[in-house]
Structure 1
Amino acid sequence: MVDAVIFDLDGVIVDSEPVWEEVRRAYVATHGGIWQPDSQRRLMGMSTGEWAQYLSGELGVTRTAEQVATEVVDEMTRRYAERVPLIDDADEVVRRIAARWPLGLASSSPTRLIAATLAVTGLTDSFRTTLSTEETARGKPAPDVYLAVARRLGVDPTRCAAVEDSSNGVRSAAAAGMRVVAVPHGSYPLDPDAAQLAAVTLGSVDELTPEVVERLP
C-alpha cells in the first residue's frame, strides 16, 4: 500500500532539462570550458553545489563553483520569468494525485526555482513539503532527498511512491526503498540499470492515475 507520493520536478512537472542543458552549455562555452558528450547525463540529478563544482572543475570553466552556481541559477530564473515550460497536463496530474495522497517534492533544482515554478503553475498548495538537494548532504543518485521528504511527510519510505524521469532520480528513489514510477524524457532515456529499478514505466506523465499508484507492487 502507498501512503504518500513524491514527485520530482524537472522532467516530470516541467520540461526543464533542455533549458538547463542550453543554459549550462552556453555558460561553459562563454567561460572557457569544454562541454563533454556525457555532461548532460552526468549532471541530471546533481545538487547545485555538485554541478557547479563539475562545471568549474572537470569542464574547466574559469569561475569558482560559487560564481557558477549563482550565475547559472540567475539565468534560469530569468528564463522562468519569461516562461515556465510546464509539461502538458502535469498540473492536473499533480492535483488528481494530491486528492488521494499527501504529496512531497524532491528536486535537484535550487530552492528559489522550485518556489517560483510552483507559484507560477499554481501548484504550491498541492505539496505538503518540498525539498531541494541544495539542503541535503548528497544529490541524486544518493537517496538523501527522498529519505528527507518521507521523514517530513511522516511516512515510511517503503510506503512511498516516487515519480521520476532521470536515471539518477530513479536510482535515488529506489535506494530510498520507494516504488518508482518512471516517466523517461524522450531525449534522455533511462540507462538499462535504472530502467530495471522502476516498478512501472509510463510513456508520459498524463498516464499517471490513482489506479496506477494503487496497482504498484
Structure 2
Amino acid sequence: MEACVFDLDGVLVDSEPVWEEVRRAFVAAHGGTWQPDTQSRLMGMSTGEWAAYLHELGVELPPDEIARGVIDQMTAHYREGVPLMKGAPETVRRLAGRFTLGLASSSPRALIDVALDASELRACFTATVSTEEVARGKPAPDGYLEAARRLGVAPEGCVAVEDSSNGLRSADAAGMRVIAVPHPRYPPAPDALALAWQVVPDLTSLTPELLER
C-alpha cells in the first residue's frame, strides 16, 4: 500500500445532511419535486450531473444556474463552520505522517478548498481531485483514477476510504482496495458494501496498522 485516497462528503465532512437540506429547499423553491430516492441518487454525482438531474426534477432554471445557486448556499454554510466527521482531523494527520494521501471528491473545487482550509487539513493531501475535473462522476472510476495519476501511484497501490454506494463502486472500479465507513443516516446498499475490503464504524478505527495489512 503506497497511498490512501479519501472521499470528502460523508467521510471527512458530515456534509450530506447539509447537501440534502440545501438541494431539497432549492428544488422546492424553483418548481421541482423531490423524489424518495433523490438523495441516494445524488450522492457521488459530479456537479454537472446533479445539476442536470435537479433540472429533470422540474427545477425551472438551466443546469448551470442550478449549480451556481446550490454551491453558493453550500459555501455560505461552510463559511459558518465545516461539520467534520468524528475523528476526521486526527485520523488524517495521523495517516499523513505515514502515507501519501489523496482526495477524490464529488464536491466542486470551490467547496473542497473551503472545507480543507477551514479544517486546516490542506497540507496533509498531496493531490486532490474534484469530479468536475474528470469526464464522469461516481460510480465511474474517473475521479479515483485521476487521483492515483496525480499521486504517481498505481490504483492497485491505493486504499480508498468511502461511505456511499456510488463511492464504493467508483473506488472498486478503479482497482483500489476499499475501506467503507458507512454514514449512519445514509448507509450504502448491501451490494456496494460487499465490495469493501474492510468496514469500520468510524474514522477513529482507521489506523496505520489497518492500512499496512
Question: What TM-score do you get using the length of structure 2 for normalisation?
Answer: 0.99
State the one-letter code of the partner of 1:158: E
Q: Which residue of 2 aligns with 1:123?
A: 121
SS of aligned partner of 1:85: coil
Rounded to whole Å, the distance in 2 between the matches of 1:27 and 1:97 is: 37
Report deviation, 1:192: 1.4
State the one-letter code of the partner of 1:3: E
Rounded to whole Å, the distance in 2 between the matches of 1:184 and 1:14 is: 13
Q: Which residue of 1 aligns with 2:155?
A: 157
Rounded to whole Å, the distance in 2 between the matches of 1:13 and 1:190 is: 16
Report deviation, 1:38: 0.2
Aligned ranges 1:177-188 → 2 under 5 Å = 177-188=175-186
SS of aligned partner of 1:77: helix
Unaligned runs of 5+ in 2: none
SS of aligned partner of 2:115: helix
Rounded to whole Å, the distance in 1 between the matches of 2:195 and 2:86 is: 26
State the one-letter code of the partner of 1:45: G
* Conservation of the 8 A alpha-carbon contact between 2:86 and 2:202: no
SS of aligned partner of 1:97: helix
Q: Does 2:80 align with 1:73?
A: no
Q: Which residue of 1 aligns with 2:36?
A: 37
Aligned ranges 1:40-189 → 2 under 5 Å = 40-57=39-56, 59-189=57-187
Give the paired residue count.
213
Percent identical pairs in the alignment equals 62
Rounded to whole Å, the distance in 2 between the matches of 1:12 and 1:192 is: 18
Question: What is the CA deviation profile of residues 129-186 of structure 1, one whole-angstrom value per residue up to 9, with x for unaligned ones?
Answer: 1010001100000000000010111101011000000010000000000000000100
SS of aligned partner of 2:194: helix
Unaligned runs of 5+ in 1: none
Rounded to whole Å, the distance in 2 between the matches of 1:124 and 1:79 is: 19
RMSD: 0.6
Which runs of structure 1 show a deviation greater than 3 angstroms over 4 or more consecutive aligned residues? none
Q: Which residue of 2 aligns with 1:191?
A: 189
Rounded to whole Å, the distance in 1 between the matches of 2:164 and 2:41 is: 10
